[in-house]
Structure 1
């Protein structure tokens, strides 16, 4: 990055259109995210717990996340702000940015819109969770939700688990359903998705249930609906707290972040189920994921900023090599 990062007085800003035009394969995204987890598990990266602010009426939520990637020698800050949580999706406002600094030179790398980074990183993590935690011989997957995370969920699942045979989708937005189909055909033109309306029956037929829906979803898969050895992965909404509390084993990308962002999954007594293992440790072989083929597993995907940093840095490298972005004399 030393040839392309900003000076000590300017900052390279990469807007939505700059980031959108960069080509990267799903397999490359998975590899970058997996490496970020490996580096964190090795103790070479730092990923403090995110900070959260939310008004009493819950109309908005904001997060701030600081981290350091030891593999790339990059320090970064990510911010995320969503307004209109009680409104329909088209009336909500969402802004997320990532600012990267080269920790070897002390110079800024770039500030970028982090929307596409998150849209790729999160389903890549879910796909890695599925690869590591799904029961042996898993052949079916159900995705709940057709928003940003739901639209790439199936292509990423097929990237890490190409043997999946039956792909199901539960959604309530026609445009979202169409977008899911388009993304699947763009990456896997020979594969089809089955849109389901009987959620209980679909959940009972699924080896993997991936909940990516927004807070207004009518979906709420109960533990009783799941197969005995099913894997349920929570990204957004769509599965009931019982899937967590009645699981045989609970894996989280971060136990600390689950305590912050997983409060909607508490039981009737207001308690959140303890985490059995964190996913970076599972990937590194330092902790067990599934310890028995018949276990019902719950996995919580809250996202770690080190994965945003790794993927964002890769995008910045590609963008700056192409001369994209605008140099802003921020510190002059």
Structure 2
């Protein structure tokens, strides 16, 4: 429901439009939020977008010719919360190893009823939760009926929570597989799984292509330098392959029976590494917001091999960021900065 001016806002100082509450990495790290809360918040943002109440323009991208860095800017409006926000994302050192890279992402929220700023926050935790939540929703809507096995490729930020979120939306999964090349990352995946599902464990696989053939759901979250490249022929009938980062060969997209994307426009911007020899991407059969809203089918046949492209929509960042801001301000977290004085 849309708020009115009489409803309470969560601005740190409602009478002062010259200050901004800044929520740091450490402020947000201590906030407890359940996986189900995250999934519900993200799903609500998609449904509001599908209803035509939110705005999610195409992201802007800046990348130098040598490819050593990339920056994104995303503006959006959440129509159910009446919140406007700007997200920025900057990664430097793409030509170097993971330890030498720098990554910064921020989200600035404004209350569109009062006209006051809500907060500026580090967006790294928002993204680390939002993306696997979207993958879990894609799995819930697009996996074959009775899906029992899942394979996660990659053990970085996005890979570490992929399995707990998948189990949140698909509790019937009984075989969990993982392919990774970093021992510390594999242990981090195990730790996150045990933190949320203490009775579950993950099977580490050495042959990722063979494991993909045994999986009903494949979630590829690996970095650009991964040796994993699951091909279309590796996937069994009915498999859902979700691309978040890297780990899937372009053939999984071009030979899919059905293609679903969170946003076709954003896939055309950020998915160019999946283009064919002519530099083209196939058309999307449906975007995901109408699937969640019940206006389109995620899957039309049990044996369809489905390729799903998970690119972040700023409306989901806004919804989850607003939820974190509510929790943080209720706890008195953050620093009030007289930014416009």
TM-score (norm 2): 0.96
Asked if the contact 1:5–1:107 (Cα under 8 Å) also holds between the matched residues in 2, the reply is no
Asked if 1:197 is matched to 2:222, the reply is no
Partner secondary structure for residue 65 of structure 1: strand
**Structure 1 unmatched runs, 5+:** none
Instruction: Report how far residue 8 of structure 1 moved.
Output: 0.4
Q: Which of 217, 224, 227 is equivalent to 1:208? A: 217
Asked if the contact 2:11–2:116 (Cα under 8 Å) also holds between the matched residues in 1, the reply is no
Asked if 1:37 is matched to 2:33, the reply is no
Q: Which of 314, 320, 324 is equivalent to 2:323? A: 314
**Structure 2 unmatched runs, 5+:** 1-7
Encode CA deviations 1:92-120: one digit per residue, 9 max, x unaligned: 10000000000000000000000000000
CA-atom RMSD, angstroms? 0.8
- Mapping of 1:121-132 within 5 angstroms? 121-132=130-141
Instruction: Report how far residue 228 of structure 1 moved.
Output: 1.2
| Cα distance in 1, alignment partners of residues 251 and 132 from structure 2 | 23
| Cα distance in 1, alignment partners of residues 54 and 208 from structure 2 | 40
Q: Which of 248, 251, 263 is equivalent to 1:254? A: 263
| Cα distance in 2, alignment partners of residues 111 and 277 from structure 1 | 34
Encode CA deviations 1:8-31: one digit per residue, 9 max, x unaligned: 000000000001011000000000
What is the match of residue 283 of structure 1? 292
Asked if the contact 2:10–2:326 (Cα under 8 Å) also holds between the matched residues in 1, the reply is no
What is the match of residue 76 of structure 2? 67
What is the match of residue 4 of structure 2? none
| Cα distance in 2, alignment partners of residues 329 and 311 from structure 1 | 25
What is the match of residue 91 of structure 2? 82
Asked if 1:141 is matched to 2:150, the reply is yes
TM-score (norm 1): 0.99
Tell which deviates more after alignment, 166-175 or 84-93.
84-93
How many residue pairs get aligned? The number is: 332
| Cα distance in 1, alignment partners of residues 206 and 68 from structure 2 | 30
Encode CA deviations 1:250-300: one digit per residue, 9 max, x unaligned: 000000000000000001121111101000011101112101111000000
- Mapping of 1:38-187 within 5 angstroms? 38-187=47-196
| Cα distance in 2, alignment partners of residues 64 and 316 from structure 1 | 21
Encode CA deviations 1:182-225: one digit per residue, 9 max, x unaligned: 00000000000000001121011001110000001010000000
Instruction: Report how far residue 5 of structure 1 moved.
Output: 2.9
Encode CA deviations 1:120-172: one digit per residue, 9 max, x unaligned: 00000000000000001110000000000000000000000000000000000
Write out the 4+ residue segments of structure 1 that deviate beyond 2 Å after TM superposition.
1-7
Instruction: Report how far residue 4 of structure 1 moved.
Output: 4.1
| Cα distance in 2, alignment partners of residues 2 and 255 from structure 1 | 34
